[in-house]
Structure 1
Amino acid sequence: MTETQPALATTKRKFHKLIDSIAASTSTTSLASTLGESNTSSTSLAHKTSPEPPNKRPRSSNASIERDRSISASQARIQALKDQLMTPKRAGTVRVVGKAVVSSPSTPRKQPNFQPYSQEQFLSRVKTFADVKKWTTKPDAINEVEWARRGWTCDTWNTVACRGGCEKRVAVKLYPKRKDAAGNAIPMSEDLAVEADDKLVEKYAEMIENGHAEDCLWRKRGCQKDIYHIPIASRTTSAASLLTRYQSFHPISADLPLLENITYPDPSIQDILPRASSLFNSTVPPPSSPTDVVAFTLAVFGWSGVSESRISLATCDHCFQRLGLWLSSDTRLKEMSQKLDVPIDSLRLNLLESHREHCPWKNATSQANSPDGPIANMPAWQTLQYILLGKQKCSPEEARGQARNVESMDLGSEAEYPRGSLDSAREVGAEEDTQSLQNKWQKFKAKLRRTTSKKSLKSIKSVRSGKSGHGKAGDG
C-alpha cells in the first residue's frame, strides 16, 4: 500500500494540469483576471495534492505555465480592444481605439449655401437687409431682392457678402455722405438729395452677378424670378395661414389701433366678414369685438402681431417691415395732427402702403402669379381675397365648369365665382341701376359657360358626326 500512494498523487496532479491546459487553450473570450484566478486555483490545488515542493515540479508543468501566461496576455489585449470597439457611443463622443474624441453634443448639420430653389433661405437673406441701420433704399435694379436672389446677404453698412460661398464682399455706394455744420462727413450716412448716377447703378447691377468669384455657383445661376411668390392657390393652406396671423394679434389686442384709424383698399371689412364666415370654426371663432375686427383686417393684408420688449408690433414675414402699433393709437394721432397741423386722415395707418415696395403682398410683379390664369397681375392681398373671400356660390353645373377653368387653384368643396367680377359690378353699380347690373351678371355667366364648355361641345359634335357618317356607310 505504501508503494502505490506516490503513483496516485502523481496521476491526480497530471490530471489537474491537463484540465488547466485544456481550459486555457479553449477559452478565447475570458478576461485576463479570470485566467489569473484559474491559474491561482490550479496552483493551490497542486500544492494540496502533491507532496513535492513547488521547486521540484517537472519541466512540463513550467512550459504549461509559460504558455498560459502568454495566452492570458494576448487574450487581455484582445479583450481590451473588444471593450473599446463594442462599447456603445455616448452622445457627443466618438470612440477611437485608445482615446476618446469629444464633439459638440448637438451640432446641427450646416445647410449648403447654394440653394437657389429654397424660398426659406431666400427670405433669410432678404431679412438681413431689413435693418435700416445697415441698408438704405436702393433703385429697383439693385434693391435687396436682386442681391438676395443671387446669394448675397447684408453684412455691414451698405455692404453685401456671399456668406458661406465665395466670401466676396461688395460695398454699394451710390450717394455722398452728409456733412455736419463744420463741413465734416458724417459716417454711415447718405445725402439722398443727390440723384444716383445711372451708370453707377448699371455697374452695381453687373456686380450682382460678377461680384462673385469665378468658381462660385451663385455667379452661374441665381434664384428664379418667382422665388418671392406667396403660395395662396391652396384654399386650405391659405385659410390656415390667415387664421394664424389673426390669432397672433390676440395677446396684444389692447394695443391695436381703432378701426377708423386704419385704411386699406376696398372692399370694406364689413363686406368681407360675412363672406368669410366659413373660414372660422369652434377653435377659432369669428371676430366678436372691435379689436377682433381690426386684428382680422391686419391679417387679411399679411400682417402678424408680435411683442418685443413690451412693445407691440405688426410685422410682415416676407418684406420684414415692422410697424409700431403705438404710433397709430388714437391719442398719438390726435397729438401729431395738432402738432403738425395736418388732418388726422393723412396720419392713419395704411395697411397696404406700409409694406415695402418689393413685398409680394403689395407688388404684383414680386407675387408673380400665373400670367394665363384668373389671378394674373394680382398682388398677394388681392389673390388672397379672390381665393378665400370674394366668391359667390353658383349652381353645381356652373361650379364644374368653373373648376375646369381654374386648374391651378384648390377651391375647396365648393367652386364659386371670382371676387373681381363682383367688385367690378359694385363699381358700375354706383352709376347704373340694379336691373342693368343683373343683366351684365347674367351675360357674364352665360359667356363663362360657353367658354368652359367649348371643348366639350366640340367633342359632342365630333361624336355626332362620326355616328352619322357610320350610319350612311351602313346604308350604302
Structure 2
Amino acid sequence: MTESDTIQLSTNTNDVRKEAEELIELIQQVRSRIDLPPIFKAKKRCFKQLDNTEELSLPNKKILLEDDIVELSKIDSREDLMTRLRSYSTNFHLIQRPVTALECAKHGWKDTNKITEKEPDTCVLSCDTCGNNIFVIAIKCKASEKVVNEVKKRYEAGLYNGHKESCQWRTQKCDDSVYCFPLVTIESGLEKFKADANNIISACVKEKQALPTLCHELDDRTLIKVKYLAEQTQKEPVELENIETAYILSLYGWELLHADIPGVKCDLCCTRKAFYLLKEPFDILRRHKSYCPYINAETANAYTPKGFSLRRTQKISGSDWMKDVLSLEYVILIKSRDLSLTYEDALDEKIRKLQNIL
C-alpha cells in the first residue's frame, strides 16, 4: 500500500465517522421531539469508554465484565423468577388468558393484583426494572380459534415490546432451564416422597383432620406399590384411615400446607389448598397449574431414572419420574423380602399348614 493510499483511506474513514455522528445527532433530535428515551442508554456509556481502550486499566475492564455477568445472572435467577410467579393472583389463573403466568414471569413481568375499572377481568402486570405496565385480557368463550391464535401471537411479542427500549427484558427472557423439575438422586427423591407424606399424616393426626378423598388416574399396579411402600415406611400405627392417600399426594409433588393447617401446596406452580375448604374430591393432577413440571413433560425436562428403559431419551413429567423411582424401590424391597430368612421361615410354615390340610 502506497503513502497516497494510506492518506485516502484515512480521509474516507474520517468522512464515514463524520456522517455517522451526524446521523446519530439527527436520530437523537427526532426521538427527543416525540418524547422517546435514548436508544440503549446504558450501553452508550460503555461505547464511550471503549473508544479509548488504551486508557482503561485492567481492573476497569474486569469491572465491565463482572457487570455483564451480574446482569445475566438476574435474568436467569430462579429465585427471582419464583418470586414473580408467586405474585400472580387467583384472578389471573381462574380465567383463560393469551399467555400463562409462567410465560409472563419469564419475561420479567409480575402481577400487581390490580384490575382496570372498565374491564375487571383484565390484569395489570408491571416490570420492576423499567416500571412499564402491560394489560393481560381474558379470552372470551365465544372467541374463534383464529382470533385466539392471533391474540396469543400479539401477546407473545408484547411480552418483549412492552418493556422500555433501555430495559434488559426488551431483548431477553429467562432460559427454559431455569424453571424445570428439580432433578434429584433416586435416594433423595425417595426421602422427599416419604417425608412429605409423613408431614401430611402428622398434621392431620395433630388437628384430628381426615385425609381428603382423591381423584386420580393411577392404575392398580401403581396403587399396590404405593400401599406397600406406605406400609413399610409407616411402622407405627396412627389413628388415621387410608394413610396411603398422603403417599399418593406426595407422589404428585404435594407438600404439607402448614403444620397447623392440614392441606397441601406445590412450590413449583404456587398452588395451595386447605383440606377443610374442599367441597369435592381433590384432583391431584388438575389442581396443578398446566405448566407445572409435575404434570408437564416439556417444562419438567426430566428423563426416567431407569437405566434399562427404552424411554431414556423421552421427556417425562415430574410425577412420572417419581413413579419410576417408586417402581425401582418396590423391586428392591420385594427382592430383599423374598431373600430374607424370616420370609423363608414364614413361607415354609404356610407350606406345612397347606400340606396338613391336604
TM-score range, shorter chain: 0.5 to 0.7
**Conserved in 2, the CA contact under 8 Å of 1:360 and 1:380?**
yes
* Contact 1:245 1:305 (C-alpha < 8 Å) held by counterparts: yes
Q: Distance in 2 between matches of 1:113 and 1:136?
A: 33
Tell me, yes or no, if structure 1 residue 236 matches structure 2 residue 183: no
Where do 1:11-90 residues align within 5 Å?
none
The alpha-carbon deviation at position 360 of structure 1 amounts to 1.0
User: In structure 2, what is the Cα distance between the partners aligned to 1:386 and 1:286?
Assistant: 27
The structure with the larger Rg is 1
Does 1:212 pair with 2:158?
Answer: no
Matched, 1:222 2:173: yes
- Letter of the structure 2 residue corresponding to residue 355 of structure 1: H
Matching residue of 2:224: 270
Partner residue of 2:102 out of 130, 138, 145: 145
Q: Is the 8 A contact 2:225 2:327 kept in 1?
A: no
1:161 to 126, 149, 163: 126
Counterpart-to-counterpart distance in 2, 1:386 and 1:361:
13
Q: Which amino acid aligns with 1:294?
A: T
Deviations 1:305-339 (A, max 9, x none): 2249x7543211111122342355xxx6xxxxxxx
After TM superposition, the structure 1 = structure 2 runs for residues 182-221 of structure 1, keeping only pairs within 5 Å, are: 192-194=141-143, 197-221=148-172
CA distance in 2, matches of 1:321, 1:149: 18
2:321 paired residue number: 383
Give yes or no for contact 1:277–1:286 (8 Å, CA) kept in 2: no
Aligned partner (choices 251, 256, 262) of residue 203 of structure 2 = 251
2:254 to 296, 300, 303: 303
1:119 & 1:153 partners in 2: Cα distance? Answer: 14
What pairs with 1:106-185 in structure 2 (closer than 5 Å)?
A: 115-129=74-88, 131-134=89-92, 136-139=94-97, 142-155=99-112, 156-157=114-115, 158-163=123-128, 165-175=129-139
| Equivalence for 2:337 | none
**Residue 303 (structure 1) shift:** 0.8
- Whose relative contact order is higher, 1 or 2, with alpha carbons under 8 Å and at least 6 apart? 2
What SS does the corresponding residue of 1:142 show, helix, strand or coil? coil
Q: Quick check: 2:257–2:274 contact (8 Å CA) kept in 1?
A: no
What residue number does 2:59 align with? none
Q: 1:361–1:264: structure 2 CA closer, same or farther, 3 Å change rule? A: same
* 1:286-315 Cα distance to aligned partner (Å, 9 max, x none): 88653532222211111112249x754321
**Helix, strand or coil: the match of 1:381?**
helix
Equivalent residue of 1:255, what SS? coil
- What's the CA shift for 1:219? 2.0
Which SS does the other structure have where 1:145 is aligned?
Answer: helix
CA distance in 1, matches of 2:274, 2:91: 17
1:321 alignment partner, one of 271, 274, 277: 271
| Matching residue within 278, 283, 287 for 1:350 | 283
Aligned equivalents of 1:161 and 1:212: distance in 2? 9
Aligned to 2:57: none
Q: 1:351 to 1:286 in 2, by over 3 A?
A: farther
Work out the number of aligned pairs and report it.
243
Q: TM-score, with normalisation over the residues of structure 2?
A: 0.58
Q: 1:390 to 1:350 in 2, by over 3 A?
A: farther
Pair 1:114–1:148, CA change in 2 (3 A): farther
State the partner residue of 1:451: none
Q: Of 356, 359, 380, which residue of structure 1 is paired with 2:292?
A: 359
- Deviation digits for residues 188-245 of structure 1 (CA, Å, limit 9, x no counterpart): xxx5454564323221110111111212112222111232211234123323332332
Contact 1:242 1:299 (8 Å CA) reproduced: yes
Assess if the C-alpha contact under 8 Å between 1:314 and 1:322 holds in 2. yes
| Alpha carbons of structure 1 residues 235 and 291: separation in structure 2 relative to 1, 3 Å | same
Distance 1:373 1:262, change over 3 A: closer
Residues 241 and 218 (structure 1), Cα distance of their counterparts in 2 relative to 1, 3 Å cut: farther
CA RMSD of aligned residues (A): 3.3
CA distance in 2 between partners of 1:112 and 1:152 (Å): 17
Could you tell me how far apart the structure 2 residues matched to 1:389 and 1:301 are?
A: 15
The 1:200/1:174 distance shift into structure 2, 3 A limit, reads farther
Q: Give the 3 Å change call, closer, same or farther, for CA 298–237 of structure 1 in structure 2.
A: same
Q: 1:151 to 1:114 in 2, by over 3 A?
A: farther
**Alpha-carbon contact 1:135-1:154 (below 8 Å) kept:** no
Counterpart contact for 1:248–1:306, Cα < 8 Å: no
Preserved contact between residue 264 and residue 351 of structure 1 (Cα < 8 Å)? no
Equivalent pair of 2:125/2:135 in contact (CA under 8 Å): yes
| Gaps in structure 1 of 5+ consecutive residues | 1-110, 176-190, 333-346, 395-476
Q: For the residues of structure 1 that align with 2:136 and 2:177, how far apart are their CA atoms?
A: 25
CA distance in 2, matches of 1:291, 1:322: 22
Q: Secondary structure at the match of 1:221?
A: coil
**Shift of the alpha carbon at 1:171?**
0.9
1:352-395 superposed Cα distances (whole Å, 9 cap, x missing partner): 2221111111111111125997272211001112134445759x
1:126 is matched by which residue type in structure 2?
Answer: L
What TM-score results when the alignment is normalised by the length of structure 1?
0.45
Cα displacement (A) at 1:348: 2.9
Structure 2, unmatched stretches of 5+, are: 1-69, 116-122, 305-309, 333-358
Tell me which amino acid in the other structure corresponds to 1:132: T
For residues 59-105 of structure 1, the C-alpha deviation after alignment (integer angstroms, 9 at most, x for no partner) is: xxxxxxxxxxxxxxxxxxxxxxxxxxxxxxxxxxxxxxxxxxxxxxx
